[in-house]
Every structure is written in structure tokens, then in C-alpha cells.
Structure 1
Amino acid sequence: MSYFDGIDPIRFDPDGDGDLAFRHYDADRVVMGKPLRDHLRFAVCWWHSFVWEGGDPFGGQTFQRPWFPGDTMDLARQRVDAAFDLFRILGVPFYAFHDHDIRPQGASLAESNARLDEITDYMGPKMEGGGPGLLWGTANMFSDRRYMSGAATNPDPDVFAYCASIVRAAMGATVKLGGVNYVLWGGREGYETLLNTDMDRELQQMGRFLSMVVEHKHRIGLKGDILIEPKPQEPTKHQYDHDVATVYGFLKRFGLEGEVKVNIEQGHAILAGHSFEHEIATANALGIFGSIDMNRNDYQSGWDTDQFPNNVPEVAMAYYEILRGGGFANGGTNFDAKLRRQSLDPVDLVAAHVGAMDVCARGLMAAAAMLEDGALERRREARYAKWDEAENAAMLHGDATLDAIADRAEGAGLDPQPVSGGQERLENLVNRYV
């Protein structure tokens, strides 16, 4: 018996009155020359949907799933069956996982890796015949107590070596399942206090590890991207990958800016003091945009609550920057989001994804309409139009010196006056679409 028995595949039904229908996500609808499914590239995350037990800092498990506690291979296979049932019901093209999400940890490193190989043998046939693909795989290097002082940045070199083994296995599993990308989620790559931390040493270790991952990617024929996911204060006080700009500086230091891109999460962007669209625009400007984790935070909690997206204007501005940058290449929209711990029923998990997919579809269509109409871009271009004049462009691209530019300003008696940025008018413009 399926965990999702009685729930039919979700259809596009804009006029229906039930809560298990897409009102806006018509996968075949062509927007800017491409079907919505190819723009959005939805993925279901394995960890929150099938592994998380519904606990919080003040209380334990609330969810009762037939595959919990998930500590045997038989339960792992049962979880795989449920996962692919959900993928079929939603019609998503992708999913994503950590190694520890799909197989229980063994008594030894070798047994853990063997179990990963065994469970991916079970998953492979379920992906045939039009089943969902793997958007990205990754290794869990944060949950076990051995990572309490970091993974690649750990002061113990044995942990570094241990991580090399599980990353090699996870990358192999990703290639085996035809995965498009591989993510390094540095959940423990940071520190609590400088009193016991050699920051430069740890950054060197992190850079060396990432360089070896890139080398291994090419060795095993992984065709997609290696992705880093920026995040602040999660869970350590000072994270080395605080935001997109910080990650770019790290990549430049180790010569990896042409090899590694970023997977940007909405919740992490907010915790870093930025907007989601800011982080996406920054990644596009630096040439490292890869993929996104779509969720939202509770803005009153001050923590990463990983809720399903429901704010169309926020989502629209994120997709505006994605479309403005050319859209996804290898990346996609991964729902790194979890149910609230009171949402106990199988149908809750389906409905949460249905609503999130609709919100994203509405947001992307609004973003596409803004971009195609061009009103926002025309006003942006007009604001910088004087820079296109030859004399002004030469200040950036010519041989002009500071002296020459200063002399011109003084000789011409320049007296520039402020020009309105018109923010409120632009916000009103955006509201016409969202």
C-alpha cells in the first residue's frame, strides 16, 4: 500500500474548487519561448519531505511515517517507494538528496558507502521511462557528532580524510543516477570563537578540499556544476560562506571562480541581511549563478524556518533576476522547505508542494511579463544613459588618468545636480504585474 494512496496526480485546473489542483502551474504553457516546466525546473528535496520527523528545539518527533526511524535498508527502500510516488503525483522533473537521506549510516565507513551503492541500485529503475531526474546530490557532513568542529575545516585531519571518502561516494552516486549538479553544503564550515580557531589554516583546508572535488568532477565525468550554498550563522556563529559575495572572494582566492557556482537559498539570503533577488543579482553579476533553494523564513523568528513559499511579489522579483540573467542552465528550483510540525497527514505534504509550485509559476509569469514589456529595464537604462556617451565611457574603458578626468571636470565647470531615483514609481510599476 502506498503512503499516498487515494491521492491522484495533480492536474492543471484553474477553475477547480479543491486544494489539490494547479491554478497557475501549467507545465506546458510557453513563456518567453519555453515551457514553464523548463523555466522552473522544480525539484523535491528528500531531507525535509521524507527524513525530517517534525521536531523543534522544544519538542521531538510529531510526524509518524511508516519508514521511520529509517535505520534499516528495508525502511530506506520503503522511503524510496514513497518518494517516487510523491514525485509522480506532483509531476516534478527533479529531486535532490544527501547521502544520509537515502541510506542509513553503517557501522563503518565502508558499510555506509556500500549501502549508498545498494540504495541507488534500487532508485535507478524508478527514474526510467520519464521518471524524475536528479537535480543534485550532496553528502551530509554536518549531522554526525564527528563534524562538531567542521568537516573539511576540522582540526582533525582524519575527519578531512573521512569527508573525502563520503564525498567521493556521493559524487559517484550522483553520476550513477545521472545527476545534473553536485552541491557542497558547508553546514559546519565555520567557528564559534577565535580563541581556538586558526582561520587561515581552516580556509586553506576548505580551499584544498574544494579544489580536489573539482578535479574529481572532471575525472568521473560529472557534466553539470559544482555548487556551494552560501549561508550565515548556520549553525556556527561565524560561517566562512556567509553570502554570495563572500563565496566569490573565497573562490577567487583559490582560482575556482570559473569552476564553482552557487546554490542560493531564500532563507539564507534573508539571514545574511539581503533580499533573495540581491543574492541572485550578485551571483549573475559575478558569473557564478547556478541554482536556487526556494523557501521562505518567518520574519519574526530570526532563524531559518524553511517554510514553503507563498509570497508572489518576493518570488516574482527573484525570478526576474534569474530570467534577466538568462535563466537556469543546469540549476533549478529546489523546494528546501518543510511542513509545519502540526501538518501530520500525507495530503499536507502534497498540498504544500502544489501551493509552492503555483506561487512560483505565478511569480515567474509576472517576472516574464515585466521583462518582455521592458518598462523597468528602460527606466534602468535611462538612469545610466550618460555613461554611454563617448567621453564618459572613456573614463571607464579608455586611457584616461585621474588627473585628466579631474582637469576635465574643473575645466568644464561641472556642477552635477541630484536626479530622482523614483523608487516609489518603480515599486508601483512592479505592482502592476504581481
Structure 2
Amino acid sequence: MTSYFDGIAPVTYEGPDSTSDLAYRHYDPDEVVMGKRMEDHLRFAVAWWHSFAWPGGDPFGGQTFQRPWFGDTMEHARAKADAAFDLFAILGQPFFCFHDFDIRPEGASFAESASNLDAITDYIGQKMETSKTKLLWGTANLFTHRRFMSGAATNPDPDVFAYAAATVKSCMDATMKLGGQNYVLWGGREGYETLLNTDLTREAEQAGAFLSKVVDYKHKTGFKGTILIEPKPQEPSKHQYDYDTATVYGFLKRFGLEKEVKLNLEQGHAILAGHSFEHELAMAASLGILGSIDMNRNDYQSGWDTDQFPDSPREVALAYYEVLKAGGFTTGGTNFDAKLRRQSLDPVDLVAAHVGGMDVCARGLKAAAAMLSDGVLETHRAARYAGWDTPDAKKMLKEQSLAEIHDLVVAADLRPEPKSGRQEILENVVSRYI
């Protein structure tokens, strides 16, 4: 183990009465929930970028973290990988996720950057041979470098489009080499600042062509994983093309890709879109495109993506309720796209943040499973829509014309009265499980 985490023992489950800052109170990986081990339900992953690459800055202040692996050489990249796998071992983490930019230094040319990526994935692959931790998904950073200031796939410069496409190809190769179970496309710069210089139709066609090429490459290489898009509203662009679940689904339908691509949904992004996390998950499940999640939270007093570790069992329970109701994860999982606060400087802070987040998720999962098993919410839901299960209602919906329905209302002298939705009662039901 490297010196960075020296003195921190592997975290174990000690139960709800534990007083240790570094013990699991609720996350027992072997506990069986709805017929499946908790670890297999949650499929936790550490985000390489926030945990090992983020320097601790914010819009009004620079770097606060001093990590021994910060630097732009392959030696630093290997040291970062060493620290990452030490943390995975301490947490008992089953998965990790990465951007290419997180794990390798930027080269002077595309070829040098690609060579660095190939070399560091060889190194990571060697470490994976003696670790339980696998790759949940890889992705390409197509937003940090100034070349992507006007987007990647939607860029007005075809050379940038080409550079982005080549980058994704190399990152897909790296993901496959490491046995990744998904590949994510995050369009952080795919949007516009002003319509005065933007051709919406052209940029949509470019984005559709780009994604189609990604899907084609998946099939040509035999990649068995899932292609995921991560919706991201408002930040950094004022108008984001992949705003939310419904927007992305419309895009997929437009280009005939709705059967090829699913979504990686994030709590913080749902809030920025004006939604709840459970709304985005339920919508994705309804549309058949729920794939994976990024688990974090935003500060509700801030209007930007603060990426904090989750701390609300109620919010998490409602999210996992939708995941479980949809059948649970297949290739997807729970990635902690969350970062420490700028004042949390020490190695123990990074461990404790994940421990707390995993415990909150475990509590939420168990509450969600209990609600689903007991069927209380679904019983109320079924009763509310019971009228639509009658033969007359089904006939009206599928067979009768507007004029026929009009005549039915007149003949029967229908006088419907409103019925309670029981919202407060159902909110109280949820509270009983948390």
C-alpha cells in the first residue's frame, strides 16, 4: 500500500451501533435483499476524476488539495493508479469509472496522448489482475481542453469533430481492454451560448451522426457493454442539448437510436433540470432507457452542480425504488460522481466520504426494497387507476372516436367528481420505511 493511505485499515461492516467513522453501519455487501446480495444490487463505483484528479477548486478559488500524484508525467499517472487501487481495497469497492484525461497525461499530439492512454491502461490492467475491482464504465473528456469550448460533436469546426471522434474511439478501445461493462458519452459542451452564431439543425445532425458512429463501432468491435448518454442541463452551456431524460429520448428517436443507447442519470443533474432524481429514473424506465446512475447531491441553496456525497436516505430510497421497480441494474451501477469539500484535505476524508455515501445508499436500498415488497405504494397506485381496467374504459381508449365518447357522456349524463390523490398519506407511508 502506498504511503498516502497508510494507517487506514480496510472498512468492514460493524452494524448500526458502531461509533467508528470508518465502519459500515448499513452496507453489508453479503446481506440478501430481494433475493440478491446488496453488493450486486448497488454495484458501487469510485469516480477516478473527483477522487483522484480534482484539485479542490471552485469558481472563486483555486487548488486546495495537495496529492503526491498531481503532475503531468506517466510516473504521476502510475502513482495515481496505485493510490486508486489502495482506496478500492480499503472500501471493498467492486467498480471504478474514468475519463481518459483522468488516468493519463496529455501529450503534445493526439498520437502521444493515445500512447499514454494505452500505456496506463496496461498498468491498470495489471493491477486489476490482483484486485476484485472492475471497470463499470469509461468515457472521454471532451470538455476541459480549450479546443472543445464550442462543443465536440456539435463543434462548427470539422477538425474538432474528427479529434473528438478519434478520442472516443481510443477511449472505447481502452474501456474494452479493461473489460468495461458500459461506455458513457457526456456532452458537457454540447450546447450553445447564443443563437446569434448557432445553427441548431446542423449541430443536431452532427450529434446524431457522431452517436451513430459510436454505435456502429460498438457492433463492429463486438463490444457487449451498453452505450450510455448522461443528460446534463444548464452547466456549462446556457442551452444544453442533452438537457434531461425526455430531451435525450427525443434525440434518440429522431436518429433511430432509442434501441441502442440508454442513460446514465445523475442526482445533481436532475436537480439542475428542475426535476427530482426519481422523476428522471421513472421517466427513463418508462421509456426503456434506464441504464446506470451517478449518485451525488447538490446544495439546494446553490444554483450549480456541487457534486456532494449523498446524505439523504429518503431521496436515495425514492431513487432506488424506481431502479428496483424497473428490474434493477444489469450492466449499470451506482457511481459516486461526488467530490470532497475544499476544506476536506486529508486521506481519511476521502475514505469517510465514500463510507458515508455507501451507508446512505444501503439504507435507501433496503427501504426501497421493503416498500416494493410490501406493495403499499403500488396498491394505492393501482386503486387510483382502477377505473381504466374496466372493459368500457379500455374500449373508450382504444376504439371509440371523440364523437362516440361525446354521445356516451350525454346518454349516461356523466357527472364525475374529483377523487383524492392521497399525497400526504403516501408521503407518510414513505417516512415509515426510512
Range of TM-score over shorter length:
over 0.9
Residue-by-residue CA offset, 1:10-41 (whole Å, 9 max, x unaligned) = 00001322100000000000000000001100
Q: Which residue of 1 aligns with 2:169?
A: 168
Who is 1:44 aligned against?
Answer: 46
Task: Find out whether 1:414 has 2:396 as its counterpart.
Answer: no
C-alpha contact 1:2 1:85 (8 A) present in aligned 2: no
Partner of 1:25: 27
Offset of residue 412 of structure 1:
1.0
2:428 is aligned with 1:428: yes
1:62 matched to 2:59? The reply is no
Question: 2:5 maps to what in 1?
Answer: 4
Q: How many residues align?
A: 432
Question: In the aligned structure 1, how far is the partner of 2:106 from the partner of 2:384?
Answer: 57
The one-letter code sitting in structure 2 at the alignment partner of 1:49 is S
Q: Which amino acid aligns with 1:406?
A: H
- Identity rate of aligned residues, in percent? 71
Which residue is 1:295 aligned to? Answer: 296
**Equivalent in the alignment of 1:77:** 78
Is the partner of 2:142 in helix, strand or coil? Answer: coil
Provide the secondary structure at the position in 1 that maps to 2:5. coil
In the TM superposition, what is the alpha-carbon distance from 1:59 to its structure 2 partner? 1.4
Q: Whole-Å Cα distance in 2 between the matches of residues 306 and 375 of structure 1?
A: 33
Quote the Cα distance in structure 1 between the aligned partners of 2:424 and 2:249.
32
C-alpha distance after superposition, 1:233-290 (max 9, x if no partner): 1100000011000000000000000000110000000010000000000000001000
CA distance in 1 between partners of 2:387 and 2:336 (Å): 42
Q: C-alpha distance in 2, partners of 1:57/1:272?
A: 20
Q: Deviations over 1:170-211 (max 9, x none)?
A: 000000000000000000000000000001100100000000
Q: Which moved more, 1:353-362 or 1:54-63?
A: 54-63
The residue number in structure 1 matching 2:359 is 358
- Cα deviation, 1:285-323, whole Å, max 9, x if unaligned, reads 001000000000000011100000000100000000111
Q: Is the 8 A contact 1:181 1:222 kept in 2?
A: no
Which residue does 1:285 correspond to in 2? Answer: 286
Deviations 1:91-127 (A, max 9, x none): 1110000001000110000010011000000000211
Partners of 2:281 and 2:289 in 1: CA distance: 9
Q: Which residue of 2 aligns with 1:34?
A: 36
SS in 1 for 2:433: coil
Measured against aligned partners, the alpha-carbon deviations of 1:375-411 in whole angstroms (never above 9, x if no partner) come to 11100000000100011012233x2222222211221
Distance 1:24 1:128 in 2: 29
SS across alignment from 2:4: coil
How far has the Cα of 1:130 moved from its partner?
4.7
What TM-score do the two structures reach when normalised by structure 2? Answer: 0.99
Aligned ranges 1:293-332 → 2 under 5 Å? 293-332=294-333
Please give the secondary structure, in 2, of the residue aligned with 1:255: coil
Tell me which amino acid in the other structure corresponds to 2:340. L
What amino acid does structure 2 have at the position aligned with 1:429? V
Counterpart residue number, 1:98: 99
Query: Could you list the per-position Cα deviations for residues 147-192 of structure 1 after superposition, in whole angstroms to 9, with x for gaps in the alignment?
Result: 0111000000000000111100000000000000000000000000
Aligned mates of 1:95, 1:60 — CA distance in 2: 26
Take 2:382 and 2:201, find their aligned partners in 1: how far apart are those partners?
42
Measure the CA separation in 2 of the matches of 1:219 and 1:262.
22
Task: Output the CA distance in 1 between the equivalents of 2:51 and 2:313.
Answer: 23
Which residue in 2 is equivalent to 1:339?
Answer: 340
Aligned to 2:272: 271
Kindly report which structure 2 residues correspond to 1:132-281, keeping only aligned pairs within 5 A, or say none.
132-281=133-282
Q: Which residue of 1 aligns with 2:368?
A: 367
TM superposition outliers: structure 1 runs of 4+ over 6 Å? none
* C-alpha separation in 2, matches of 1:304 and 1:201: 29
Whether the aligned pair in 1 keeps the contact of 2:98 and 2:138 (CA below 8 Å) is: yes
Task: Kindly provide the amino acid, as one letter, of the partner of residue 426 in structure 2.
Answer: L
Runs of 5+ consecutive residues of structure 2 not aligned to the other structure:
none
Separation in 2 of the partners of 1:406 and 1:109? 66
> Partners in 1 of 2:354 and 2:369 — Cα distance?
22
What TM-score, normalized by structure 1, do the two folds share? 0.99
CA drift of 1:344 comes to 0.3
- In structure 2, C-alpha distance between the alignment counterparts of 1:285 and 1:17, rounded to whole Å: 41
Distance 1:263 1:305 in 2: 18
Cα distance in 2 for partners of 1:95, 1:189 equals 25
- When the two chains are superposed, the root-mean-square deviation of aligned CA atoms in Å is 0.8
Checking the alignment, whether the CA contact within 8 Å between 2:89 and 2:131 is kept in structure 1 is no
Contact 1:189 1:239 in 2 (8 A): yes
User: Corresponding residue for 1:400?
Assistant: 400
